[in-house]
Amino acid sequence: MASLLPLLAFLWTAAATVLPHSNTVLVSSTAPSAELANCLRTSFYGTYGGSSSTQEHIYLPNEECLSDKSSLNGLSSGSLVPLNTDIEGDTGRLVWVGQAGVEPKEIALQSIDDAWNTISTRSQEILLQSSSSDFSAQKVLGSNQGQSHNQDYSQPIQLLHQSPTSMLLHVPSTYLPIIDTLLPYHLVPVALPTKPLPASLGLMVNEWEPVPNKFAKHLANVTKHLRFSPEIDKIVSDGIEHNQIRRDVRWLTGEAPSGIESRHSFTKGALKAANWIKEKVEATGAYCHLHQYLVGFSPNVICYYPSSLNSTEHVVLSAHYDSRGSFGSTRAPGGDDDGSGSGHLLGVAHAIHTQGVKFEKQVILAFFSGEEQGLLGSHAYAEHLHGKNTTILLQVQADMLAYHAPGEPLQLGLPESIHLPEASYLIGNLSQIYSPELLVGKTAACCSDHQSFISYGFPSTQVFERNGWIADPYYHNSGDLSQRENYDFEQIVSIAKITLSSLLTVAGYQIESRT
Ligand X SMILES: *[C@@H]1O[C@H](CO)[C@@H](O)[C@H](O)[C@H]1NC(C)=O
> Interface with Zn ion by CB under 5 A: which residues?
337-338, 399
- Of 46, 61, 239, 428, the one binding ligand X (CB under 6 A) is 428
State the nearest-atom distance from the C-beta of 461 to ligand X, in Å: 10
Q: Which listed option, Zn ion, ligand X, none, makes contact with residue 399 (CB within 5 to 8 Å by class)?
A: Zn ion
CA distance 275 to 271: 6
Footprint on residues 335-374 left by ligand X (CB under 6 A): none
Does the protein bind ligand X through residue 221 (CB under 6 A)? Answer: yes
CB closer to ligand X out of 133 and 310: 310
CA distance 140 to 38: 44
Cα–Cα–Cα angle for 211, 213, 217, rounded to 5 degrees: 120
- Residue 313 contacts by C-beta under 8 Å, 6 or more apart in sequence? 307, 361, 362, 391, 392, 393
Region of 264-272, 337-345, 346-354, 422-430 interacting with ligand X (CB under 6 A):
422-430
State the nearest-atom distance from the C-beta of 466 to ligand X, in Å: 15
Q: Which listed option, ligand X, Zn ion, none, makes contact with residue 440 (CB within 5 to 8 Å by class)?
A: ligand X
- Of 243, 310, 513, 515, the one binding ligand X (CB under 6 A) is 310
Q: Which residues pair with 82 in a beta bridge?
A: 24
Contact 362, 313 (CB under 8 A): yes
State the nearest-atom distance from the C-beta of 212 to ligand X, in Å: 13
Region of 102-110, 151-159, 220-228, 321-329 interacting with ligand X (CB under 6 A):
220-228
CB closer to ligand X out of 150 and 221: 221
Exposure of 279 in the CB half-sphere (CA atoms within 13 A) = 8
State the nearest-atom distance from the C-beta of 57 to ligand X, in Å: 25
42 by Cβ neighbours in 10 Å (0-12 / 13-18 / 19+) ranks as middle
CA distance 377 to 21: 23
- Residues 218-241, buried b or exposed e (16+ Cβ, 10 A)? bbeebbeeeeeeeebeebbeebbb
Q: Which listed option, Zn ion, ligand X, none, makes contact with residue 38 (CB within 5 to 8 Å by class)?
A: none
State the nearest-atom distance from the C-beta of 474 to Zn ion, in Å: 13
CB closer to Zn ion out of 229 and 417: 417
The three-state secondary structure class of 138 is helix
Region of 125-133, 257-265, 321-329, 425-433 interacting with ligand X (CB under 6 A):
425-433
State the nearest-atom distance from the C-beta of 319 to Zn ion, in Å: 8
CB closer to Zn ion out of 56 and 449: 449
Q: Which 3-state string (H, E, C) describes 319-342?
A: EECCCCCCCCCCCECCCCCCHHHH
* Alpha carbon distances (Å) from 409 to 63, 439, 490, 491: 54, 7, 11, 9
CB closer to ligand X out of 425 and 475: 425
Region of 30-38, 43-51, 83-91, 423-431 interacting with ligand X (CB under 6 A):
423-431
**How many residues are recorded in the chain?**
515
- Of 10, 48, 304, 425, the one binding ligand X (CB under 6 A) is 425
- Of 69, 105, 214, 388, the one binding ligand X (CB under 6 A) is 388
Does the protein bind ligand X through residue 429 (CB under 6 A)? Answer: yes
Nearest-10 crossing angle of helices 230-239, 421-434: 80
Residue 31, Cβ neighbours under 10 Å: how many?
A: 16
The three-state secondary structure class of 504 is helix
User: How many residues of this chain interact with ligand X, rule: CB under 6 A?
Assistant: 12
Q: Which listed option, ligand X, Zn ion, none, makes contact with residue 338 (CB within 5 to 8 Å by class)?
A: Zn ion
CA distance 193 to 486: 37
CB closer to ligand X out of 178 and 232: 232
Region of 51-59, 221-229, 273-281, 458-466 interacting with ligand X (CB under 6 A):
221-229
Does the protein bind ligand X through residue 432 (CB under 6 A)? Answer: yes
CA distance 478 to 329: 7
CB closer to ligand X out of 69 and 214: 214
- Residue 218 contacts by C-beta under 8 Å, 6 or more apart in sequence? 393, 459
Task: For 302, list phi and psi in degrees, rounded to 5.
Answer: -110, 120
Does the protein bind ligand X through residue 212 (CB under 6 A)? Answer: no
- Of 54, 62, 79, 223, the one binding ligand X (CB under 6 A) is 223
CB closer to ligand X out of 177 and 459: 459
**In 208-253, beta strands by DSSP E:** none
Smallest CA-to-CA distance from 175 within 12, 50, 303 is with 12
State the nearest-atom distance from the C-beta of 481 to ligand X, in Å: 31
CA distance 354 to 179: 41
CB closer to ligand X out of 356 and 441: 441
Residues binding ligand X (CB under 6 A): 221, 223, 225, 309-310, 388-389, 425, 428-429, 432, 440
